[in-house]
Amino acid sequence: MKKRLNRIRLIDIAEKTHLSVNTISKVLNGREKEAGIAVETAKRVRKMADELGYIPDQMARCLRAKNTDTIGVYIDKITDHVRAETLHAILQELSNRGLFPLIMLAEAGYEKCCEAFIRNRIEGLILCGTMQAMNADFFNRLYENKIKTVITGCFFHDRNLNNVFREVSFVNVDNERGVELQIRHLHEQGRSRIAFLSGPTHDSDMHIRKKTYMDLIKTVHEPVVGQIDKDTSYLEHGYWSMDMLLAGRQEIDAVIAFDDKVALGAIRCLHDKGRNVPGDVAVIGFDNSPEDDYTLPRLSSISLPTQEIGTKSVELLLDRLENKTKPKTIYVLPSLVARESTQPSAGKPQKGNPPD
Amino acid sequence: MKKRLNRIRLIDIAEKTHLSVNTISKVLNGREKEAGIAVETAKRVRKMADELGYIPDQMARCLRAKNTDTIGVYIDKITDHVRAETLHAILQELSNRGLFPLIMLAEAGYEKCCEAFIRNRIEGLILCGTMQAMNADFFNRLYENKIKTVITGCFFHDRNLNNVFREVSFVNVDNERGVELQIRHLHEQGRSRIAFLSGPTHDSDMHIRKKTYMDLIKTVHEPVVGQIDKDTSYLEHGYWSMDMLLAGRQEIDAVIAFDDKVALGAIRCLHDKGRNVPGDVAVIGFDNSPEDDYTLPRLSSISLPTQEIGTKSVELLLDRLENKTKPKTIYVLPSLVARESTQPSAGKPQKGNPPD
DNA sequence: GTGAAAGCGCTAACAC
DNA sequence: GTGTTAGCGCTTTCAC
């Protein structure tokens, strides 16, 4: 049971170079200029540090200094591809900037996550994706502990939280723009009676997309919304709300689904009822999931700029940490990915082509 | 610029309770019994800590103690669903055990990752999924720094690395079992001439699966292997090696693809050449990707127990950290997911059913 | 140009 | 039963 770890420390370099720990510290932190250290000395120090393979002890450094170079990431299930891609981009960006991530899964409960974050003295937090268990206490604790936060892909319509968002920036997907793209695309494909299929009501994006649909569509015709109240999977939501729509009297030739899973549920329902997609009804989803390329028919969708979301959230957070800007909200633009499910008249699934 | 953070420290509790920092420390670390501290005192301390909302400073604790409670995770692109699921399970398990993850993306380069790990004094490392840039230096540095390691889903046939695996445990997927399941399933479905489609040669799992296929199939017929040499995507590998097979003279009625992506490429090729799947040729993949449920036809596959992989790797690592066991290798069993692509005679895509 | 000394918050050894 | 003291490895302040 030896007490000291076998690591190289500043003092080891100091002894070898016959200098003081202090000098070594200054050089290795690039503060040689302002400390007025001889160029030759600095060189010697660096050389020795290199030779010995010195790696500073983050714990010791953090204890003394105020910064920990650690950024918390609070995230829901990472198996969702949008979140996985966003997380990947965040990790890339943090790594590029020499920062360390501390990832906590929301399912562990916010108290536990909060404690882990504070205990490890994270300097900033990125909150990644919609979460249900979000409350004022959480944000207040972050604020009290001076943890600046960026929220990405997560909308709050709970206005009670507004006053706790003093130190929170947002990277939002421009949902309005997404729905606009969907409607315009369907019009261009010759569709004139477009319905909206909603998903579970706890999803905050859902409300925005539905509202946008209603606002935009009513210049053309009465909004037609398929919605069920059951608290069930997205797929089932799609299936049964589509079923409901078909049972109604309104004629429709296109459906905007809240997301891809809802769209897939809807397509199954349409098949079961003998409707052809896209022949009778065009269907478009949202999220551009990997499976969209393999569905029958291939599913048109809206793609989110996950790379940009990740990069921008780190950027925004660092601006705040360096006090460059006030907390702010930025929007990133989604884009259209047109596939078979919205083609004008392709009754049959497209034949396979050599992959690209 | 105040120096002290506004956190509650041990000394604050000490002052309020008129006790020494030491006593507080002992109580809050649950060492009151062995230190012989009065039950009443302990209660008082805990109550005060609770009231003040005390959260220890991990940095200070780590500097003094030897353990950091931090486990490194070294992982390739997390957008792959198998890795995402495994990572999710790992994060769950670490969180359950009160450990903190430090995740580094392999793409950052092993030197950078290694430095981050050592700098943050991780106690153990989980290496998650196949990586190409793996070398002896990496493992030697881990060993030198007393970092115990678990490798999951990553096979090395480079025997030169064997001597650096002194402190490495393995959680492997039983690939042999997977291929066995595939072959048995195809036989049960009445297929008698089964080919194997390989993927990129840098993939270490590939070699094992191919070898297993060859060993098992030769009791029935000569192995038929489709393989191309181009260094290209898995999808293209599937397409062109299938193309190659079809151009050859051997009759086949089933294809085992190295993985799902290869399988999808193969299916496209079969369609293009006018072969019906599964009517003429059955196809089975490996990995059970989410899109398998939406392909045309739905793709039979082999599912990996990602949850178990995650849980077991943390378990194995902790056993090592507590010196309970020697480094070891364990195998987890994959399972068969039969879908349309291997059905005996279903010529048409199955009609949609209400989702389950 | 460089060094000495203090101290970040905590735990471990030992004293009383 | 509880307190005193030292020190983990580093940065910071100030002295020379």
CATH code assigned at B250: 3.40.50.2300
Grade residue A138 by pLDDT with cuts at 50, 70 and 90: confident
Q: How far is CA B129 from the centre of its chain?
A: 5
Q: State how far the Cα of A342 lies from the Cα of A286, in Å rounded to an integer.
A: 13
- How many CB pairs below 8 A link A and B? 166
Q: Is residue A52 in some structural domain? A: yes
A301 touches A339 (CB < 8 A) = yes
Give how many domains chain A has, as a whole number: 3
Do A186 and A196 fall within a single domain? yes
Do B51 and B69 fall within a single domain? no
| The pair of three-digit structure tokens given for residue A39, joined into one six-digit string | 């160029």
Do B89 and B150 fall within a single domain? yes
Mean pLDDT within A167-195: 96
| A349 near B CB under 8 A | yes
Q: Is residue B3 in some structural domain? A: no
Q: Is residue A257 in some structural domain? A: yes
Do B237 and B292 fall within a single domain? yes
> Whole-number Å distance, CA A29 to C1' C6?
20
Do A238 and A139 fall within a single domain? no
Q: Which of residues 12-31 of B touch strand C (CB under 7 A)?
A: 21-22, 25, 28-29, 31
Q: Is residue A324 in some structural domain? A: yes
Do B46 and B101 fall within a single domain? no
Residue A231: its pLDDT value, please? 84
Do B79 and B39 fall within a single domain? no
Residue A184: its pLDDT value, please? 98
Q: Is residue A349 in some structural domain? A: no
Residues belonging to chain A: 356
Q: Is the dihedral of CA B199, B204, B205, B207 positive or negative?
A: positive
Q: Is residue A111 in some structural domain? A: yes
Q: What is the CATH number of the domain that holds B42?
A: 1.10.260
Do A158 and A206 fall within a single domain? no
Residue B140: its pLDDT value, please? 87
Q: Is residue A352 in some structural domain? A: no
Q: How many CB atoms lie within 10 A of CB B61?
A: 17
What are the pLDDT digits (tens) for A247-258? 988 899 999 999
Contact residues, B window 259-278, toward A, CB-based 8 Å cutoff: 264-265, 267-269, 271-272
Q: Any residues with CB less than 8 A from the CB of A339 and at least 6 apart, and which?
A: A292, A293, A297, A298, A299, A300, A301
What are the pLDDT digits (tens) for B167-176? 899 999 999 9
Flag whether pLDDT at B155 surpasses 80: no
**Do the chains contact at B79 and A84, CB–CB below 8 Å?**
yes
CB of A316 within 7 Å of some strand D atom: no
For B238, nearest residue in chain A (alpha carbons): A355
Q: Is residue B233 in some structural domain? A: yes
Contact residues, B window 15-54, toward A, CB-based 8 Å cutoff: none
Instruction: Residue A52: give the domain boundaries.
Output: 10-56
Do B205 and B240 fall within a single domain? yes
Grade residue A2 by pLDDT with cuts at 50, 70 and 90: very low
Contact residues, A window 142-171, toward B, CB-based 8 Å cutoff: 144-146
B152 touches B87 (CB < 8 A) = no
Do B102 and B246 fall within a single domain? no
Do A192 and A246 fall within a single domain? yes
Do A164 and A220 fall within a single domain? no
**Do the chains contact at A78 and B87, CB–CB below 8 Å?**
yes
Q: How many CB atoms lie within 10 A of CB B115?
A: 17
